[in-house]
Every structure is written in structure tokens, then in C-alpha cells.
């Protein structure tokens, strides 16, 4: 438990150095099998750990993450470390500056233990599109861990770190959190600075946390949240002490009829509803049916936006400066998105596809806004099916449908989180809670009750 | 010239008070060593994002819009214009122009020429094709683009208009004069008005040459078609670049890293209040004061001069002031080799100078001699004249005795004068001026000598 470990480190009963040493040992022994890290920052991490222990010994003040091992997704810039985005394109590229989130973690004495595997340029939801090999699901070996924050989720599930950073554009934190049986938080759009996050879809991307317990995930959000002048899409909304979790009751829980229909594997829906029933009992809450008219359009709205923005964001990878020319070195899915984005941005279409997608995005946001007038939170499954076996061929449509439950939160800019609901076929299954934009405190207290 | 339609797209560097780039805090300094004023944002490192556009740039461009009679939009939307070139680290340029953009100003009019729009964009880096090196210092400099309607009908009209435009923009110190302007020119002729766009014309004289060349080319060309051409200054010709059909597709998208920017109407009002009178308006007003046309033109051509002059005429007769102002004050500034913007003279000292002159408290000779010192070192002229005892010699007896001395000393000149050589008196006056260290009034000396000789 993160809270207890922090207390032990701060009191000197346990040291940051030992914490890092133990994780390093475990990574060395077991990560060959899991493939969750692309880079392990052994030297840097141990050096920082010793400095923190020294501060504690000298009774100096230490930060909120003192001595904790933090794994960072390979698309978030850490100065001097290989920011490959799990692509051959950036094989030899090293970060030239710290992302805002990394700067904040370091300032709170969190220790970057390494950079995690992921779907190439975050383009995927299985972890299989990495140029450095797929990541195993530590909780269901042989199956995908989900993606695109595959390595971050697997590293947490396999006990290779305390907390991990992931990024979530259409479910990339929540989907692997669900498959790996851990907690994952996608904050509201504009809650966390994207400065230093390599672009997938700039109007949807958001950095969030993965952890085994709600406290750790909440603590990380508390550290990284906040307005930054380096990312003008961040908002000046008040940040609460998210890690100070309060017990709350009487939630009005929204459920949409469409959720069941969208669930390919009905066992998932059933499990999620059972878990919801427990919550209702425990917190004296009630279910309210809501109607989200446009949510079934989420996937088809999402992809044009991602394609177009990804096409634009990858223009800098032209082989002149950062790594190699992307079109010549990337995998199939990345290329599909670039070419798709190029096609629909062409002048002859006058931006109609992108504009149409933007218009539907607004409709979906409006649906959710309306719903949140009647309910406090919305509960849904995370993915419509169990994670497939690594290497199993699935169609592009099926691959994209993985994100049907998670995409709406990105399109609407609201916050959402995932907690384990149970297991089916010895595979973890998560439950998603969605809350209004900038109500991370509410979201976290619900997750804490689950 | 026949029936011609000409339009201009004028690009200039904004003159920034805070010397910061458009989307980051890096310094604007054209003379810095290569790649010294750079950061992750202006070199477009993976993961970098733009900051909100520099307020200074936004205010500057609003003032340009107002100066050119544009309607100012209350929303600004940047978008990405994609193209691949070694000077463009991100692969796109952030600009307000294009299908998703929202420019600062629309539908203006300046001296009879319609202004289509005015917008802001970022400058790319500087790429040297020979060495292959890229200097990112310039990457992210704020650029203004002024797009006119095709309302010009002749080169002379273009010439006068552009010169007046530059003077007018210098009034609000909006554009960096040292960096020059770049133009794209579009030209079409009767009867079909098939438009050619000529890229990269970088001086007024080249613009005129390019237009003339295009008009002749289009007259001769049998199968003229819509196209883009490049101006080659070395041979004085425009060269074919591409037809309209093969025009580059910039694949515009709204910039997702920047929110839509709201322009507070109160800010626009505030800026409008600070917009100075235009040079043409000043010229007319000076003429109405009775100022000579040449003087009015010269003084209104520079805002610094105009502002100084207007302070002076609060106390001094404008006709009197303008003569001395143009011939002596401006000449003295020019002789000092000073840039008008670097002038830091206290206006009250200059007003004192004019007062001393007007009231004949000190002689023009003394005053003219002290002018450079006053302009350069901000001399307190009244105090200085007093301390140094440089007031005009007003004591008639004293003056007469100097004149008598001169007549004795310059006997030959006296004889010359008496025999009808009027000019001979000048050397006698000169003697008095030298003796009095210029403090005597030459007119008075002249009349005393004449009286004494007769
Ligand atoms: Zn910069």
C-alpha cells in the first residue's frame, strides 16, 4: 500500500534506496518475460534515492512522492532519457527537456525508475504495435495487457514500480488498467499539462496515473495537476488534496441502456452491474437511467480527429531533425493513421470530415453534460470484450471498437477512472466511473468506495 | 498602363516592445549568435507546445488593424499550415490565415485601397541552403501580413500607397523598419483578368519592376492561365512556379494546442484611443496652421518629429517654428547621425530653445551652435545661456562701441561699401560677431554700422 510505504520511507523505517533496489531486482528477474520497460534508469534512480534518504536522515523536508518508484510512458519527455514512443522512428532520440509532469514528480521527490513500453506513438489499444515487442499481461499471461499504456499498466501489475504515468487519448490508461486489474485515472482535459507529451491527438490527449491502489493514483494526480503557461489548454481550476480520500454516500449513478448493447461479451456487463450493486448497497446510492444519444457515434467521431491531429503532429518526424522519417520507419497502424489523416485533411474536402467530427464531439459532450444534471457519476464497462491473446489477428473495426466505452470521456473532456470489478476466465475486468469535468475529487472518492 | 488590377500581400516583422517571440519567451535579437535564443517550443522538440500568443504582438496587430480601418474580430483562431521545408521544425506554420483561421482585422480601407485582412503568423527559422545549417533564433518571430484587395490600377499608385503605408505604420512603431518588408504581388489585366501571383518581392523598386514585367508578359502571352510565379531580382523577370491546379495543399487545421483567443472589446477601445493621427491628417492640419507645404510634409513624415513639433507649437508660432524646425532642428539631428527613435531630448528644453530664438534672448548664431549639444545631451539651454553669459547683447551703447571698433579696424571694407559695394558690409558685421562671440544680433549690427558710416 502506497500510503503505508510512504510513511515508512519518511520515518526512515524503509529507505528509498531499498525501494528502488527491490524494484530493480524484480525488473531484472522478471521483465524479460513481461517486456514492460524500454529503458530502466538504474543509475539515475539510485542516485536520486540516496539523495532522498540523506534528506530524510537530516530531517529535511521531503516531497509528497518521497522515494516512490515512478514508471513513465515512453512518449513523455524526460531529459536525457530515450523518448522512443516505442517506435523505430525515434530509436535514437533522447528527451531534451523535462515534461511539466516529470518536473513536478522530481520536485516532489518521486524517482523515475524507467520508461515503459507502449503502442507505437500510442496508436493502438493492445500494446502489440510497439516496435520493441508486445507486452505481456502479468495477470493473464499470453493475453494482451491492453494499451496504449501497456507497459505502464503491466509494470504496476507486476510490481515493478509504485505508480506509473500513462496517457489517455481514447482509453489508453483505462483499457490496460482494466485488463491488468489495477486503478487507472484519466483526468479532465486541461487538468494536467501536456507540455512534454509527444502528440497523438492534441485535443484529446491527457496524462494520468496507474497504480494498485486509489490513494497512489490520487496522489499522483494531486502532484501533476494544475495550470501551466507552457500548455495554454490547461485550466485554472482549483486542485484539491485528491489523496485525502473522504468516504461519501448517496451517489446518483447514471447507467445507459446502450452500454449493454455495446458489450460484445455480456459477462462483462453482468460483472460490472454486480459490482455496481455492491456500491449501491454500501453507499446507499441509486441508479438513474440516462440517455446518451450520440455515444454510439463516439468511435467514428474519434478516429477522424485522431488521424488528422496525428498526421499534423508527426510532420516534425521528417527525418531532418528528430530520428528517422516516420513514414519509412513506422508500423502499419501508425502509417494507417498518418495516411488517413493526410487524406481527410486535403483541401478538396474543405475540412468537412474534421469539422463534422468536431460537431459530433460537441454533441457527445452535450449529452454527457445533460446527463450530469441528473446524476453525479456514470458507470459503465471499460472494454466490450476480454483482452485477446497476443498475436491473435483481429480486424481493424474490432480493434477500434475496444475503445467504445472509453472514448466518450475524451471527446467530452470529462474525467474518468477504472477499478477492478472481478475476473472472467481468470482475466481481470475493470469498471469505469465517469465524472463531470474537474470533479476529480468526486471521481476518486467513488473509486475509493468500490 | 491599360486596365490593370494589382493587389498586395505585405509581410513585415512586428516591432515588439517586450522583445519576445510569438509563442515562447525567447528573446528577439536579430544580431545574436546562431541558436542562442531558442527553447523546446521554437525548435519544436517532440512534446513541446506553444504558449499563448505574446500579448504585445496581439496589441500591436490590433493597432495596425485600427490604423488601416479594419473591423477587429473578437475571436482569434490560429491554424496550422503544413508544408515541408528545412526551415520549418514542426512541419507546419502557425498562422491566422486559411480556411479555419480567424484573422485580427477584416474589411479595412487605407487611402482608397481595400484591406482584405490583417493577420499574425510565426516566422520559420533561417536555413542556409549552402551549408545546410539552420539558425532557430528567428523561428517564432511574430510577422504581420496585410492583404489588400486588387484595387491598385498602376505602379505609381502602388508606390505612393506603400510609402505612405510604411510611414503610417511607423507612427505606431508597429513594424520593425530595419528588417524591411516582403511582398507577394498579384497582377491581372483586361479583358479577362486572369490572376498571376508573384512571390517574394522584397523592395518597393522590385515590386514596381515585377508589376511592369507581369503586365507586359500577360499582354504577350496568348494562353495565359492562373499561376504562381517567382520574382528573380537578378534578371528582373518573373519565373513560372506552378499553375493553380498544382497549387500546394497546406492541409489547414485549427491549431489544437491553442485555445480560441477572446479579444476584449475594451482592449480594442483602449488601443483605439492611443492610435495617433495618421500622417496625412497631420499634414493637412499643419497646412491649416499656415505651415509651408514642404515643411508640413517633412515634419509629418516621422512620428518623433511630428510629436516634438506639436509640443513646440503649443508655445511658439507654428509658421515661425516650422521653418526653424525643418531647416535647423532636423538638419542637426541628421548631422548627428541619430535615429529618430533614439532621440531622448526633453521637449521643454527644445521649447526653451525656440522661445530664446523667438524672443531674441540669444542670437541665432549662438543658438544654432548649441543645438547639437541640446539634442544629444539634453542641455538645459536657458540655464546654460545664463551661466555662460551668452544672452544677446541688447545694450545699444555697448553694441555701438563694438561697431565703432570694427569700422576702425576694417577701413578698406568701409571704403568699399561707401563706393557702392553693398556686400562689403558683411566683413564689418563679421568682425563684430567675432568680437561678441556671436551674441550680437546681426540685423541690429547691420543697421548701426550703416548709421555710423553715413
Ligand atoms: Zn523559444
DSSP for A73-141 reads ETTB--BTSB--TTSSTTTT-BBSS--HHHHHHHHTT-EEEEEE--SGGG--SSSTT-TT-PPP-TTST
Chain B residues within 8 angstroms (CB to CB) of chain A:
40-41, 44-52, 80, 82, 84, 86, 89-92, 99-100, 249-253, 256-259
**Residue among A234, A315, A350, A359 with most chain B CBs within 10 A, to mutate:** A315
Is A73 assigned a catalytic role?
A: yes
User: Is there a contact between A233 and B46 if contact means CB atoms under 8 Å apart?
Assistant: no
- Considering the domain architecture, whether residues A80 and A180 belong to the same structural domain is answered as yes
In a domain, A238, yes or no: no
Q: Is B116 helix (H, G, I), strand (E, B) or coil?
A: strand
pLDDT value of position A94: 96
DSSP string, A1-52: -HHHHHHHHHHTSS-HHHHHHHHHHHHHHHHHHH--EEEE-HHHHHHHHHHH
Task: Decide which of B336, B367, B387 is a domain's last residue.
Answer: B387
- Considering the domain architecture, whether residues B298 and B166 belong to the same structural domain is answered as no
pLDDT digits 0-9 by tens, A256-299:
988 998 899 999 999 999 999 999 999 999 999 998 888 889 99
Average model confidence (pLDDT) across chain B: 89
Torsion angles phi and psi, residue B375, rounded to 5: -70, -35
- Residue range B259-263: average pLDDT? 92
In a domain, A262, yes or no: no
Q: Is the separation of the CB atoms in A419 and A450 below 8 Å?
A: yes
Degrees (nearest 5) of the Cα angle B172, B63, B13? 70
In a domain, A247, yes or no: no
User: Is there a contact between B257 and A322 if contact means CB atoms under 8 Å apart?
Assistant: no
Q: The CATH number of the domain where A180 resides is what? A: 3.90.1300.10
What H or E segment, with its residue span, contains residue A288? strand A286-290
Q: Is the separation of the CB atoms in A76 and A58 below 8 Å?
A: no
User: Per-residue pLDDT for B9 more than 80?
Assistant: yes
Q: Is B228 helix (H, G, I), strand (E, B) or coil?
A: strand
- Considering the domain architecture, whether residues A25 and A132 belong to the same structural domain is answered as yes
Task: Decide which of A201, A224, A247 is a domain's last residue.
Answer: A224
- Considering the domain architecture, whether residues A174 and A313 belong to the same structural domain is answered as no
- Considering the domain architecture, whether residues B212 and B338 belong to the same structural domain is answered as no
Q: Which of A189-198, B165-174, B339-348 has the highest mean pLDDT?
A: A189-198
Determine the Cα–Cα distance for residues A319 and A107; give it in Å rounded to an integer.
Answer: 34
Residues of chain B contacting residue A76, judged by C-beta atoms under 8 Å apart: 47
Q: Is the separation of the CB atoms in B298 and B326 below 8 Å?
A: yes
Nearest C-alpha of chain B: how many angstroms from A204?
A: 9
Q: The CATH number of the domain where B415 resides is what? A: 1.10.10.410
Grid cell for residue A136: 505481456
Interface of A with B in 351-370 (CB under 8 A): 351, 354
Nearest C-alpha of chain B: how many angstroms from A377?
A: 27
- Considering the domain architecture, whether residues B363 and B406 belong to the same structural domain is answered as no
Determine the Cα–Cα distance for residues A250 and B219; give it in Å rounded to an integer.
Answer: 82
Overall domain count for chain B: 3
- Considering the domain architecture, whether residues B66 and B198 belong to the same structural domain is answered as yes
Determine the Cα–Cα distance for residues A165 and B89; give it in Å rounded to an integer.
Answer: 28
Distance A115 CA to ligand 1 centre (A): 27
Distance B138 CA to ligand 1 centre (A): 9
Q: Which of B200-214, B232-246, B426-440 has the highest mean pLDDT?
A: B200-214
Grid cell for residue B330: 532636423
Grid cell for residue B184: 507577394
Q: Is the separation of the CB atoms in A421 and A278 below 8 Å?
A: no
Residue A176: band (very low, low, confident or very high) from pLDDT cuts 50, 70, 90:
very high
User: Per-residue pLDDT for B367 more than 90?
Assistant: no
- Considering the domain architecture, whether residues A49 and A163 belong to the same structural domain is answered as yes
What H or E segment, with its residue span, contains residue A339? helix A332-344
Task: Classify residue B73 by burial, with Cβ atoms within 10 Å: 0-12, 13-18, 19+.
Answer: buried
pLDDT value of position B2: 65
How far are the Cα atoms of A271, A360, A362, A416, B259 from residue A357, in angstroms, in the given order?
33, 5, 9, 22, 18
In a domain, A178, yes or no: yes
- Considering the domain architecture, whether residues B79 and B39 belong to the same structural domain is answered as yes
Catalytic residue among A10, A36, A64, A73: A73
Q: Could you count the other beta carbons within 10 Å of the beta carbon of residue A347?
A: 14
- Residue range B256-282: average pLDDT? 91
pLDDT value of position B68: 93
Torsion angles phi and psi, residue B18, rounded to 5: -90, 0
User: Per-residue pLDDT for A128 more than 90?
Assistant: yes
- Considering the domain architecture, whether residues B301 and B217 belong to the same structural domain is answered as no
Strand-pair partners of B145? B11, B119
pLDDT digits 0-9 by tens, B415-440:
888 888 888 888 888 888 888 877 77
Q: Is A433 helix (H, G, I), strand (E, B) or coil?
A: strand
In a domain, A275, yes or no: no
Distance B16 CA to ligand 1 centre (A): 15
pLDDT value of position B433: 83
Task: Decide which of A311, A329, A353 is a domain's last residue.
Answer: A353
Grid cell for residue A434: 465517469
How far are the Cα atoms of A285, B291, B295, B297 from residue B284, in angstroms, in the given order?
79, 10, 12, 9
Task: Decide which of B273, B304, B339 is a domain's last residue.
Answer: B273
- Considering the domain architecture, whether residues B375 and B416 belong to the same structural domain is answered as no
pLDDT digits 0-9 by tens, B67-96:
999 999 999 999 999 999 999 999 999 999
pLDDT value of position B66: 93
- Kindly identify which residue of chain B lies nearest to residue A84, measuring between CA atoms: B46
| Residue A219: DSSP 8-state | H
Degrees (nearest 5) of the Cα angle A381, A382, A384? 75
Nearest Cα residue to B309 out of B290, B324, B331, B292: B324
pLDDT value of position B1: 58
Torsion angles phi and psi, residue B165, rounded to 5: -60, -45
Q: Is A46 helix (H, G, I), strand (E, B) or coil?
A: helix
Task: Classify residue B308 by burial, with Cβ atoms within 10 Å: 0-12, 13-18, 19+.
Answer: buried
pLDDT digits 0-9 by tens, B333-366:
888 888 787 787 888 889 999 988 888 888 888 8
Q: Is the separation of the CB atoms in A387 and A143 below 8 Å?
A: yes
A198 CB near a chain B CB, below 8 Å? yes
Report strand pairing: A111-116 vs A163-168.
unpaired
Residues of chain B contacting residue A347, judged by C-beta atoms under 8 Å apart: 99, 249-252
Measure CA A311 to chain center.
22
Task: Decide which of A178, A205, A224 is a domain's last residue.
Answer: A224
pLDDT digits 0-9 by tens, B178-200:
777 889 999 999 888 889 999 98
pLDDT value of position A354: 87
Domain that holds residue B175: 4-273
Residue B382: band (very low, low, confident or very high) from pLDDT cuts 50, 70, 90:
confident
- Considering the domain architecture, whether residues A205 and A305 belong to the same structural domain is answered as no
pLDDT digits 0-9 by tens, B100-111:
778 888 889 998
Task: Classify residue A257 by burial, with Cβ atoms within 10 Å: 0-12, 13-18, 19+.
Answer: exposed
- Considering the domain architecture, whether residues B299 and B433 belong to the same structural domain is answered as no
Determine the Cα–Cα distance for residues A415 and A419; give it in Å rounded to an integer.
Answer: 14
- Considering the domain architecture, whether residues A75 and A186 belong to the same structural domain is answered as yes
| Residue B98: DSSP 8-state | S
Nearest Cα residue to B135 out of B225, B37, B241, B267: B37
Q: Is B419 helix (H, G, I), strand (E, B) or coil?
A: coil
Residues with Cβ within 8 Å of residue B247, at least 6 apart in sequence: B228
Does A148 sit behind a cis peptide bond, omega within 30 degrees of 0 on the bond before it?
A: yes
In a domain, A404, yes or no: no
Residues of chain A contacting residue B252, judged by C-beta atoms under 8 Å apart: 345, 347, 351
Q: Is B300 helix (H, G, I), strand (E, B) or coil?
A: helix
- Considering the domain architecture, whether residues B317 and B435 belong to the same structural domain is answered as no
- Considering the domain architecture, whether residues A31 and A124 belong to the same structural domain is answered as yes
Determine the Cα–Cα distance for residues B364 and A293; give it in Å rounded to an integer.
Answer: 88
Q: Could you count the other beta carbons within 10 Å of the beta carbon of residue A249?
A: 10
Nearest Cα residue to B353 out of B390, B304, B361: B361
Residue A417: band (very low, low, confident or very high) from pLDDT cuts 50, 70, 90:
very high
- Considering the domain architecture, whether residues B254 and B138 belong to the same structural domain is answered as yes
Domain that holds residue A217: 2-224
- Considering the domain architecture, whether residues A132 and A23 belong to the same structural domain is answered as yes
Task: Classify residue A42 by burial, with Cβ atoms within 10 Å: 0-12, 13-18, 19+.
Answer: middle
Determine the Cα–Cα distance for residues B242 and B195; give it in Å rounded to an integer.
Answer: 13
Overall domain count for chain A: 2
Determine the Cα–Cα distance for residues B12 and B174; give it in Å rounded to an integer.
Answer: 9
- Considering the domain architecture, whether residues B295 and B152 belong to the same structural domain is answered as no
Cα torsion at A27, A184, A203, A120 (round to 10°)? 30
Place of cell 570694427: B406
The closest CB to that of B51, out of A232, A317, A342, belongs to A232
Determine the Cα–Cα distance for residues B441 and B422; give it in Å rounded to an integer.
Answer: 19
Determine the Cα–Cα distance for residues B17 and B174; give it in Å rounded to an integer.
Answer: 9
- Residue range A320-337: average pLDDT? 95
Task: Decide which of B273, B298, B313 is a domain's last residue.
Answer: B273
User: Per-residue pLDDT for B224 more than 90?
Assistant: no
User: Minimum mean pLDDT among A426-430, A436-440, B53-57, B278-282: which range?
Assistant: B278-282
A171 CB near a chain B CB, below 8 Å? no
- Considering the domain architecture, whether residues B332 and B444 belong to the same structural domain is answered as no
In a domain, A379, yes or no: no
In a domain, A147, yes or no: yes
- Left if phi > 0, otherwise alpha if psi is -120 to 50, otherwise beta: which for B441? beta
Residue A84: band (very low, low, confident or very high) from pLDDT cuts 50, 70, 90:
very high
- Residue range B270-285: average pLDDT? 89
Q: How high is the ipTM of this complex?
A: 0.93
User: Is there a contact between B47 and A77 if contact means CB atoms under 8 Å apart?
Assistant: yes
Amino acid at each position: 500500500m502506497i500510503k503505508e510505504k510512504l510513511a515508512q520511507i519518511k520515518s526512515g523505517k524503509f529507505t528509498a534506496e531499498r525501494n528502488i533496489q527491490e524494484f530493480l531486482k524484480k525488473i531484472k528477474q522478471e521483465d524479460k518475460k513481461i517486456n514492460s520497460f524500454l529503458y530502466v534508469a538504474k543509475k539515475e534512480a539510485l542516485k536520486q534515492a540516496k539523495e532522498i534518504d540523506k534528506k530524510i536522515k537530516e530531517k529535511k523536508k521531503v516531497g509528497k512522492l518521497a522515494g516512490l518508484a515512478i514508471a513513465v510512458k515512453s512518449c513523455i519527455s524526460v531529459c536525457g532519457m530515450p523518448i522512443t514512443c516505442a517506435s523505430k522512428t525515434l530509436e535514437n532520440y533522447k528527451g531534451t527537456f523535462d515534461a511539466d509532469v516529470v518536473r513536478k514528480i522530481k520536485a516532489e521527490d518521486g524517482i523515475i525508475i524507467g520508461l515503459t513500453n507502449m503502442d507505437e506513438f500510442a496508436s493502438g489499444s493492445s500494446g502489440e504495435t510497439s516496435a520493441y515487442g508486445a507486452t505481456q499481461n502479468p495477470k493473464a499471461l499470453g493475453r494482451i495487457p491492453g494499451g496504449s499504456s501497456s507497459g505502464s499498466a503491466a509494470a504496476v501489475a507486476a510490481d515493478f514500480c509504485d505508480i506509473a504515468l500513462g496517457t489517455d487519448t481514447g482509453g489508453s490508461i483505462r483499457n490496460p488498467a482494466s485488463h491488468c486489474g489495477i486503478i487507472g485515472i484519466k483526468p479532465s482535459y486541461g487538468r494536467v499539462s501536456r507540455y512534454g507529451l509527444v502528440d497523438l491527438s492534441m485535443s484529446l490527449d491527457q496524462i494520468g496515473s496507474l497504480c494498485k491502489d486509489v490513494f497512489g493514483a490520487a496522489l499522483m494526480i494531486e502532484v501533476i495537476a494544475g495550470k501551466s503557461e507552457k500548455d495554454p489548454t490547461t485550466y485554472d481550476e482549483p486542485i484539491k488534496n485528491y489523496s485525502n480520500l473522504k468516504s461519501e454516500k448517496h451517489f446518483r449513478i447514471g447507467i445507459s441502456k446502450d452500454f449493454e448493447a455495446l458489450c460484445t461479451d455480456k459477462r462483462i456487463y453482468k460483472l460490472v452491474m454486480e459490482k455496481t450493486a455492491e456500491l449501491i448497497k454500501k453507499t446507499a446510492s441509486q441508479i438513474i437511467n440516462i440517455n446518451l444519444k450520440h455515444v454510439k457515434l463516439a468511435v467514428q467521431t474519434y478516429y477522424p480527429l485522431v488521424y488528422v491531429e496525428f498526421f499534423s503532429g508527426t510532420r516534425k518526424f521528417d527525418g531532418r531533425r528528430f530520428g528517422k522519417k516516420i513514414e519509412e520507419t513506422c508500423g502499419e497502424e501508425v502509417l494507417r493513421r498518418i495516411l488517413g489523416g493526410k487524406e481527410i485533411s486535403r483541401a478538396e474536402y474543405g475540412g468537412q470530415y474534421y469539422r463534422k467530427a468536431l460537431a459530433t464531439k460537441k454533441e457527445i459532450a452535450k449529452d454527457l453534460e445533460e446527463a450530469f444534471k441528473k446524476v453525479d457519476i456514470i458507470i459503465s464497462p471499460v472494454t466490450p470484450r476480454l483482452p485477446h491473446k497476443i498475436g491473435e489477428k483481429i480486424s481493424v473495426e474490432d480493434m477500434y471498437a475496444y475503445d467504445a466505452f472509453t472514448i466518450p470521456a475524451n471527446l467530452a473532456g470529462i474525467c474518468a477512472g477504472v477499478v477492478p470489478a472481478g475476473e472472467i476466465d481468470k482475466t481481470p475486468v475493470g469498471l469505469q466511473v465517469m465524472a463531470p469535468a474537474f470533479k476529480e475529487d468526486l471521481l476518486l472518492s467513488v473509486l475509493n468506495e468500490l | 498602363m491599360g486596365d490593370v488590377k494589382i493587389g498586395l500581400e505585405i509581410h513585415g516583422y512586428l516591432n515588439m516592445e517586450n522583445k519576445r517571440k510569438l509563442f515562447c519567451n525567447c528573446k528577439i535579437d536579430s544580431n545574436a549568435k546562431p541558436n542562442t535564443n531558442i527553447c523546446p517550443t521554437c525548435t519544436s522538440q517532440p512534446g513541446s507546445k506553444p504558449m499563448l500568443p505574446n500579448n504585445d504582438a496581439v496589441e500591436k496587430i490590433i493597432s495596425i488593424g485600427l490604423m488601416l480601418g479594419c473591423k477587429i474580430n473578437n475571436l482569434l483562431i490560429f491554424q496550422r499550415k503544413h508544408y515541408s521545408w528545412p526551415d520549418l521544425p514542426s512541419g507546419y506554420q502557425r498562422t491566422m490565415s486559411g480556411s479555419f483561421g480567424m484573422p485580427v482585422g477584416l474589411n479595412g480601407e487605407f487611402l482608397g485601397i481595400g484591406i482584405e485582412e490583417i493577420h499574425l503568423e510565426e516566422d520559420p527559422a533561417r536555413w542556409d541552403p549552402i551549408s545546410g545549417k539552420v539558425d532557430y533564433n528567428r523561428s517564432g518571430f511574430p510577422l504581420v501580413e496585410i492583404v489588400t484587395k486588387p484595387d491598385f490600377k498602376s505602379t505609381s499608385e502602388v508606390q505612393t500607397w506603400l510609402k505612405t503605408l510604411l510611414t503610417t505604420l511607423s507612427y505606431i512603431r508597429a513594424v520593425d523598419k530595419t528588417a524591411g518588408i516582403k511582398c507577394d504581388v498579384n497582377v491581372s489585366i483586361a479583358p479577362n483578368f486572369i490572376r498571376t501571383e508573384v512571390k517574394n518581392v522584397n523592395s518597393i523598386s522590385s515590386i514596381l519592376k515585377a508589376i511592369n514585367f507581369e503586365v507586359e508578359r500577360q499582354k504577350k502571352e496568348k494562353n495565359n492561365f492562373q499561376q504562381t510565379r517567382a520574382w528573380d531580382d537578378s534578371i528582373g523577370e518573373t519565373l513560372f512556379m506552378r499553375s493553380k491546379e498544382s497549387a500546394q495543399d497546406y492541409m489547414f487545421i485549427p491549431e489544437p494546442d491553442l485555445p480560441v483567443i477572446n479579444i476584449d472589446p475594451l482592449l480594442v477601445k483602449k488601443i483605439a484611443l492611443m492610435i495617433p493621427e495618421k500622417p496625412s491628417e497631420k499634414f493637412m492640419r499643419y497646412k491649416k496652421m499656415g505651415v509651408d507645404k514642404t515643411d508640413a510634409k517633412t515634419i509629418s513624415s516621422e512620428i518623433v518629429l511630428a510629436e516634438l513639433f506639436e509640443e513646440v507649437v503649443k508655445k511658439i508660432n507654428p509658421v515661425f517654428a516650422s521653418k526653424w524646425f525643418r531647416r535647423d532642428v532636423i538638419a542637426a539631428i541628421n548631422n548627428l547621425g541619430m535615429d529618430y527613435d533614439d532621440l531622448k531630448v526633453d521637449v521643454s528644453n527644445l521649447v526653451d530653445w525656440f522661445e530664446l530664438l523667438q524672443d531674441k534672448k540669444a542670437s541665432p548664431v549662438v543658438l544654432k551652435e548649441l543645438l547639437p549639444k541640446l539634442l544629444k545631451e539634453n542641455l538645459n539651454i536657458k540655464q546654460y545661456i545664463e551661466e555662460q553669459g551668452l544672452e544677446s547683447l541688447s545694450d545699444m551703447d555697448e553694441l555701438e562701441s563694438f561697431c565703432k571698433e570694427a569700422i576702425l579696424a576694417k577701413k578698406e571694407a568701409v571704403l568699399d561699401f561707401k563706393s557702392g559695394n553693398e556686400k562689403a558690409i558683411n566683413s564689418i558685421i563679421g568682425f563684430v560677431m567675432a568680437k561678441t562671440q556671436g551674441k550680437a544680433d546681426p540685423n541690429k549690427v547691420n543697421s548701426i554700422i550703416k548709421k555710423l558710416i553715413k
